Structure 1
Amino acid sequence: MITFISSIIILILGYVFYGKYIERVFEIYPDKKTPAYCKQDNMDFVPLPAWKGWMIQLLNIAGLGPVFGAVAGALYGPVAFIWIVIGCIVAGGVHDYFSGMLSLRHGGAQFPMLVQHYLGKVIRVFTDVVSVVLMVLVAAAFVAGPAQLLSSKTPISFFVALIIIFTYFILAAILPINKIIGRIYPVFGVILIVMAVSIAAALIFSGKHIPEITVHNLHPKGLPVWPLLMVTISCGAISGFHCTQSPIISRTVKNESEGRKVFYGAMISEGIIALIWAAAGMTFFGGTEGLAAKLQSVGPAGVVDQISIELLGPFGSILALLGVIILPITTGDTALRSARMIIEDFMKGKVNIKPKALMIAASFAVGLPAFILSMIDYSFLWRYVGFTNQIVATVMLWVSVCYLLRYSKKHLVAGIPALFMTASISVYVLYAPEGLALPYQTALIGGSIVFLIVSSLYVRTILKYAKPNSMPAPARDLYTS
């Protein structure tokens, strides 16, 4: 119990102090007019209040990610608390703040455009592909569960449920942000927050023993904590999906001073939600072996449903039903909207198509494969979502490093988490079944080699920008980009 409550307090303090420090390192310009006004088009560029931007950002990045991922991460025991707290404050919050604010500084640019500006065209093409694939996988993975639950609770068939959800997805992707997303997301946000707060309060006052801190690996199968935990709990610690969502909100931010609340604040909020569900997963089912058996038999949705009913009764059942159906959809719709925006940015100037026609074509181009993939087994999809997600997160951290180096700012705030995630994802791809499936020791050696190569390139870049006369125009001039 002490560990759980202390972790929440540390996350809040992380927002207050470290978030403010990151804001100072980035250096905001409250006097500058943001793209929400400069490019206002009543479609994507629309000024929104900070509270609404925060709410939409939270739902965009959260959904059921910090719920299902945290429950699965609870298999490793209380060490999951450590990863959520440190990862969220030092890595995830930094990642989300820089992705949102750099997008804003570059006129609401999508993530691949930022990659091209700071890392070059070759890596941008790679990032375009990986980002769109990630968006499609997320939309597919997060829609199958709600469709199955709808078909089990109503006369609607699974296939019809998929068609209904994807029809909404297409509409949410092509209609102005303040027509659907800006109106219904605050309601969905209340559901997510009430669900998390209710579970936390009931858990604290239930008298159940929430495990205290330990660095021991309690996974029933003895799977290594590093790097598997860093991929299992991504939403709630650090997630590359977030940098694909931040441009949606960067185009609505009214003032740079709101960035910490909207971007860093949403990440901290998601971390608190992840802590709550990780604690619930560890507390119920008699330990990690019982949790593993329950996940095997009823899946994460069944685990969430059982915890909610036991803690909150009929009210919990309603919350769980609403959460498992609605919250994944709020991630899937903006995933397709982001993919649509990425494709539009890539195709501009390359095809002679009217902007509205291009927008509709791009929406269907990503919606159709997501619809087809949604009929594949969820667990299979989620494995590939995991490592593509963290590859994107790592690239975004390196974009942040290059920005900080270019403008002579304190680059280690992004450099240290970038190096850590580089090592983590390298070992994961070499070790995991969906990667090369090499023995763990071999994967560690291979990951160490990648880490050393990237570290040497980092040092070389540091030395490059340390040379006299290597500075470009001031960072505030990015608004002219």
Structure 2
Amino acid sequence: MPTLAIALGALVLYILAYNTYGKWLGQKVFKLSKDSLAPSIELEDGNDFVPTKKGIVFGHHFTSIAGTGPIVGPALAVMWGWLPALLWVLFGSIFIGAVHDFGALVVSMRNKGKTVGDIAGDVISPRVRLLFLCILVIALSLVLAIFGLVIAVVFRLYPQSITPCLIQIPLALIIGFFVHRKGLNILIPSIISLAVMYLSVAYGNVGWLADLNSTLAAWPLMTWVTFLLVYSYIASVLPVWVLLQPRDYINSLQLISTLALVVVGLFVAGIFGGAPIDGIRPPLEIVAPAIEPNITAKQLPLIFPFLFVTIACGAVSGFHCLVSSGTSSKQLRCETDARFVGYGSMLTEGFLAVLVILACVAGLGLGLTHGDEFLTGTAAWDAQYSSWASSKGLPAKINAFVTGASNFLQTLGISAIFAKALMGVFVASFAATTLDSACRLQRYVVQELGGCLIDLKLRKLPEPEKTQAGLEARQTSWLTNKHLCTIAACLIAWWMASLPSAAGKPAGTGGMILWPLFGAINQLLGGLAFLVIFFWMRRKKMPTWFIAIPTVFMLILPAWAMLYQIFIAAIGSDLSWIGQERWLLVGIGISTIILEIWMIVEAIGCWRRTSDKTDCI
């Protein structure tokens, strides 16, 4: 019953938060209006700026921000105890994460769909724009490199997920054509798409398809990464309605319906017990400690600050500001839809993180195959989470969630084979939608960075001539060409992913070395986005008290975690470590910290120059 009570309590809390705090932000703080002209309508170009129904944008936004972050983070963080993880997810998502996403979306819509990085130059200083864009390039390169490897790893772990994920691509192209070009009502395509995707899970690993999946799963990691980045390039340069938007939408249908099945399975398990084992339904119980008492024995790092960067996307994530300001702000056709998409999507992701926690600490206890043994209860927990070192690998974290969640599904009479296939598709699809969205976002950022370089070149011209010359140069320069910018983004990510972990190791094994930095840089990006939102609201003379504390919190904690990882936990006294396989991790970490400090110094200078709280440029 405690498991059931937690799930129900979290759902009620999120509904209340959306209709109280979220409503207050939309109506009283941001003062959203149906009469405001949305960028998607004002700047409609049929490519990036495309007016779209809020339900479809929600699907794109939710699947893009979620990725595997709210799965792998909570699945590892429960080692400190399920209670700290749960509290950080609940209160972090409501008061920090959802405010961050909602704020970034509104600020972008009020600034003609510009990204947060570009807006930083307007509200703080032009130099900050360049600094922030550099940080965004680093962060998105990490996302592209790591998530390309993550999908490859998932396909190796669950070959049965390959065919269902590949089928989504032609399905999305068909949906995009008939809905956008032919004006077909979205209901019928939605039902057909959902049916096809579930059928692909049921029959996508039968006969010759099983042989195909096995062959594809055996591909080297870098072959998969190359294939995925080529796909991401195509998805990035095509008009958003052709592939990215419909694929994210139909993905959201499957993912949200799967979440609903997991919730129903959890409730059935809570009331009647899990799937029968030797004719007996085991009770659903939390088999993990509320707070881990054996921190030293399990070699856990410091809970403060590492809990708050281990769980990123489920509570707050800087990557979300790029989705809000990079793609979603260019698609919403009405300003009042921003609360549903920005605030609502983050709460949905928070609920996903709650389900991940419950799957790992309760669902896992319903049955786990460990070697040649089938374990239940605390024995299953101890086998899966014996130590930090054995649990922090990507396969271990994914397996804990997939096993626990599939146990919930099996209580509904769903076979173990179908349940695990469905959850494998669930994880791979989330990662894939993040990958193609991140590639498009990186293209925007590289183009904006190219625009900054063009502005520097033209800075000595008089203002009217400079503005006109800048516009013309952005349309013709190779620095802002969408194909060249996207290719550059993909090549950088491919190079980062291809590094070996050490001499003699295969390509691709070193890319995951960057994973420890992902959470810290992701959270740090959230702090910097909060800083931009804070200064924008300050210039507009709007109340800022509710984001002041989250801004400071999200600037200090990730930097602390990153410095600890680089200089204490990793390097220690052996400086030769830098020159071996981890030089890229150290270099990226130090560069990011320097850029953060520089940006904060610029912001402090702006604050001092604007005691009257007017324009700071």
TM-score range, shorter chain: 0.7 to 0.9
Amino acid at match of 2:488: A
Q: Indicate the residue corresponding to 1:292 in structure 2.
A: 385
Compared CA separation, residues 218 and 177, structure 1 to 2 (3 A): farther
Aligned 1:44-193 pairs, distance under 5 A: 44-77=48-81, 78-150=83-155, 153=159, 154-156=214-216, 157-158=219-220, 159-193=222-256
Q: Report the 3-state secondary structure (helix = DSSP H, G, I; strand = E; otherwise coil) of the residue aligned with 2:87.
A: helix
Aligned 1:438-449 pairs, distance under 5 A: none
Residue 305 (structure 2) pairs with residue 242 (structure 1): no
Superposed displacement of residue 195, structure 1: 2.9
Compared CA separation, residues 148 and 288, structure 1 to 2 (3 A): closer
- Residue by residue, what CA displacement relative to the aligned partner does 1:423-453 show, whole Å, maximum 9, x if unpaired? 31232123224778699xxxxxxx9xx99xx
Question: How many residues end up aligned between the 2 structures?
Answer: 458
Compared CA separation, residues 138 and 411, structure 1 to 2 (3 A): same
Q: Indicate the residue corresponding to 2:349 in structure 1.
A: 270
Superposed displacement of residue 210, structure 1: 3.2
CA distance in 1, matches of 2:489, 2:606: 39
CA distance in 2, matches of 1:188, 1:244: 20
Superposed displacement of residue 49, structure 1: 0.3
Superposed displacement of residue 15, structure 1: 1.3
CA distance in 2, matches of 1:347, 1:458: 27
1:227 to 305, 309, 324: 305
Q: Report the 3-state secondary structure (helix = DSSP H, G, I; strand = E; otherwise coil) of the residue aligned with 1:155.
A: helix
Q: Indicate the residue corresponding to 1:322 in structure 2.
A: 425
Amino acid at match of 1:273: L
Q: Indicate the residue corresponding to 1:208 in structure 2.
A: 284
Task: Report which stretch shifted further, 226-235 or 201-210.
Answer: 201-210
Compared CA separation, residues 201 and 379, structure 1 to 2 (3 A): farther
- Residue by residue, what CA displacement relative to the aligned partner does 1:110-165 show, whole Å, maximum 9, x if unpaired? 12112212222333222111111111111111121322343563212134333322
- Residue by residue, what CA displacement relative to the aligned partner does 1:363-408 show, whole Å, maximum 9, x if unpaired? 0101012123332446422212111111110011111211222222
1:373 to 496, 510, 520: 496
- Residue by residue, what CA displacement relative to the aligned partner does 1:223-277 show, whole Å, maximum 9, x if unpaired? 2222111101110111000011112010011111100001111111100001100
Task: Report which stretch shifted further, 6-15 or 91-100.
Answer: 6-15
Q: Report the 3-state secondary structure (helix = DSSP H, G, I; strand = E; otherwise coil) of the residue aligned with 1:185.
A: helix
Q: Is the 8 A contact 1:429 1:436 kept in 2?
A: no
Compared CA separation, residues 372 and 426, structure 1 to 2 (3 A): closer
Amino acid at match of 1:138: V
Q: Is the 8 A contact 1:76 1:218 kept in 2?
A: no
Superposed displacement of residue 54, structure 1: 0.9
CA distance in 2, matches of 1:59, 1:259: 16
CA distance in 1, matches of 2:226, 2:563: 37
CA distance in 1, matches of 2:226, 2:404: 30
TM-score (norm 1): 0.87
Task: Report which stretch shifted further, 228-237 or 70-79.
Answer: 70-79
- Residue by residue, what CA displacement relative to the aligned partner does 1:154-181 show, whole Å, maximum 9, x if unpaired? 2121343333222210011101110001
Q: Is the 8 A contact 1:3 1:213 kept in 2?
A: no
Q: Indicate the residue corresponding to 2:560 in structure 1.
A: 427
Matched-pair identity in %: 22
Residue 382 (structure 2) pairs with residue 279 (structure 1): no
Q: Is the 8 A contact 1:75 1:282 kept in 2?
A: no
Superposed displacement of residue 33, structure 1: 1.1
Compared CA separation, residues 289 and 127, structure 1 to 2 (3 A): farther
TM-score (norm 2): 0.69
CA distance in 1, matches of 2:417, 2:342: 34
Q: Is the 8 A contact 2:315 2:350 kept in 1?
A: yes
1:398 to 512, 531, 542: 531
CA distance in 1, matches of 2:289, 2:94: 18
Q: Is the 8 A contact 2:71 2:398 kept in 1?
A: no
Computing the radius of gyration from Cα coordinates, the structure with the larger value is 2
CA distance in 2, matches of 1:435, 1:42: 50
Superposed displacement of residue 318, structure 1: 1.8
Q: Is the 8 A contact 1:69 1:233 kept in 2?
A: yes
- Residue by residue, what CA displacement relative to the aligned partner does 1:332-361 show, whole Å, maximum 9, x if unpaired? 111111010011122237267637971000
Q: Is the 8 A contact 1:7 1:81 kept in 2?
A: no
Q: Is the 8 A contact 1:111 1:243 kept in 2?
A: yes
Superposed displacement of residue 5, structure 1: 2.6
Q: Indicate the residue corresponding to 1:382 in structure 2.
A: 515
Task: Report which stretch shifted further, 358-367 or 395-404.
Answer: 395-404
Q: Indicate the residue corresponding to 1:479 in structure 2.
A: none
Residue 400 (structure 2) pairs with residue 303 (structure 1): yes
Superposed displacement of residue 301, structure 1: 2.5
CA distance in 2, matches of 1:211, 1:401: 42
Q: Is the 8 A contact 1:383 1:434 kept in 2?
A: no
Compared CA separation, residues 303 and 330, structure 1 to 2 (3 A): same
Give unpaired runs (5+ residues) of structure 2.
160-213, 270-282, 366-377, 410-415, 455-472, 498-507, 573-592
Compared CA separation, residues 169 and 460, structure 1 to 2 (3 A): closer
Q: Indicate the residue corresponding to 2:180 in structure 1.
A: none
Amino acid at match of 1:305: V
Q: Is the 8 A contact 2:148 2:228 kept in 1?
A: yes
Q: Indicate the residue corresponding to 1:360 in structure 2.
A: 483
Q: Is the 8 A contact 1:281 1:291 kept in 2?
A: no
Superposed displacement of residue 214, structure 1: 5.0
Amino acid at match of 2:76: A
Task: Report which stretch shifted further, 266-275 or 422-431.
Answer: 422-431
Amino acid at match of 1:354: T
Q: Is the 8 A contact 2:149 2:512 kept in 1?
A: no
Give unpaired runs (5+ residues) of structure 1.
440-446, 474-481
Compared CA separation, residues 196 and 70, structure 1 to 2 (3 A): farther
